[in-house]
Amino acid sequence: MVFSHSLRFKIMLVTIIASVASILVILVITPHMVENRFIEQAKNRHFQNFTQALLEFKKSSENWNTREGAIKYYQSRFQPDRHNRRQIAPKRPPAHLRGLDSGRPDFSSPLASDNLRFVLTNPAGFVVLPFYHYQAGQLINQNELSEAEPLVHRGELLGYALASGDIKLSEKDNTYLQTLTDSLLISALIAVLFASSIGYLLTRSIQTRLKRLIRATQNLADNPNPSDLKMPGKDEISLLANQFDQMSARLTDQFNELENSHQIISEQARSLEKLSYTDELTELANRRYFNDAFETLLKEARVAHTDLSLILCDIDHFKKVNDEYSHQIGDQVLKQVAQILQSSIREDDIAARIGGEELVILMPKTDKQTALQAAGRIRNNIETYPWHKIALGLTITMSSGVASLNDEAAQVSCNILFKRADARLYTAKSAGRNQVCG
């Protein structure tokens, strides 16, 4: 598994990115918020001074909220000290004031900062502290008044302050902001290291358990009885492992059932195959199997220039056995004769039942003389068997006809060879039965 594509790497990467993103957001927002807070505090200090000055004049004036009161405040408050105060270069006027006047104030004020100028009015909107194009006693319009800051003392409106320019931070404030920024950068680095460590520790267990789960799924195809994962817990991986264990158990049961079914089907197939070429009563080969085997063995004998012999057997007076002793006894006789034949031939020889009491033996790589000896041995074994164990007074004999490929090997076919053995069987039966003719 490529590390860059692993779940562990992705979780750690997401953890680090989330931590860095959070710190960066704080790093961007916090200094700005602190700076605005400093500016707000500085502005509030100015407003407090304005409010206090206006409150003092209001107490000493009866027509404070009029144009005459505004001019009187200006003359009494600022004009006496006009030539004694330090001249301060005006700032550029606000956008809505540009172009209306030259922008140069007629006086400077101790209530103004280096970069910030205020136009003060009484509650009615008459200017008491002018700057730029404004004159003492001038009435400002409602749009400008709506942008001004109200100066209130204990719920009472004392006037308005219309600000223009910026408030510069002090050296102490700038030092504080720089320290704050440095602290946030260090915090970001610590957060990245901490997030990496936490991510590594958190994903270590996840990766271990995922590897176990992956190996288990890979081995499931090769091992029909895999061991259980047994992962305790309530997280998703534990639940997935438990589901895998249940699925594995079900697959194992199904596999065992399929194995059992396959075994049963195989046994049934073998049974059907056996039934297709086996005589049900004697358990010898049936006529279909005999015909196929006869064709195959004859072709092999011709190619290899070897012998092939055929012994055609018939139980003597078998109809009399059925008539006198019953068909059940006749079936027992056939079974016993089949056992005698099967025990009297070689492993490569084929014994088959091709008719009611008619039996045949195929003997590959066997010449006629050897086949005659085998037929004689079989005839003797049947004659000397204690048939009285099946039925009292029962005797059984067998006649056989033998034919071999070496009689006329070049032209003999299965049909010709079978007819030749059948003719010799007929000769043996005509000669008195219980004998072999070849």
In the chain, where are the structural domains located?
3-171, 224-277, 287-437
Q: What is the pLDDT of residues 370-396, one digit of tens each?
A: 999 999 999 999 999 999 999 999 999
Q: What is the pLDDT of residues 25-64, one digit of tens each?
A: 776 777 667 666 766 666 777 777 778 777 777 776 677 7
Name residue 280's amino acid. Answer: E
Name residue 385's amino acid. Answer: Y
Confidence of residue 423 (pLDDT cuts 50, 70, 90): very high
Q: Counting beta carbons within 10 angstroms of the beta carbon of residue 207, is it exposed (0 to 12), middle (13 to 18) or buried (19 or more)?
A: middle
Average pLDDT, the chain: 77
d(CA 349, CA 288): 16
Residue 210 has pLDDT above 80, yes or no: no
Report the candidate in 157, 164, 75, 163 with the shortest Cα–Cα distance to residue 124.
Answer: 157
Percent of the chain as helix, strand, coil, to the nearest 5: 60, 15, 30
**What's the distance, Cα to Cα, between the start and end of the chain in Å?**
80
Whole-number pLDDT of residue 94: 47
Q: Is the dihedral of CA 52, 54, 55, 61 positive or negative?
A: positive
Confidence of residue 234 (pLDDT cuts 50, 70, 90): low
Whole-number pLDDT of residue 380: 96
Of the candidate CATH numbers 3.30.70.270, 3.40.630.10, 3.30.930.10, 2.40.50.90, the domain formed by 287-437 belongs to 3.30.70.270
Collapse the DSSP code of 121 into the 3-class scheme (helix H, G, I; strand E, B; otherwise coil) and give the result.
Answer: strand
pTM score: 0.45
d(CA 49, CA 82): 19
Residue 217, beta-bridge partner list: none
Instruction: Locate 141 and state its tokens.
Output: 């319009």
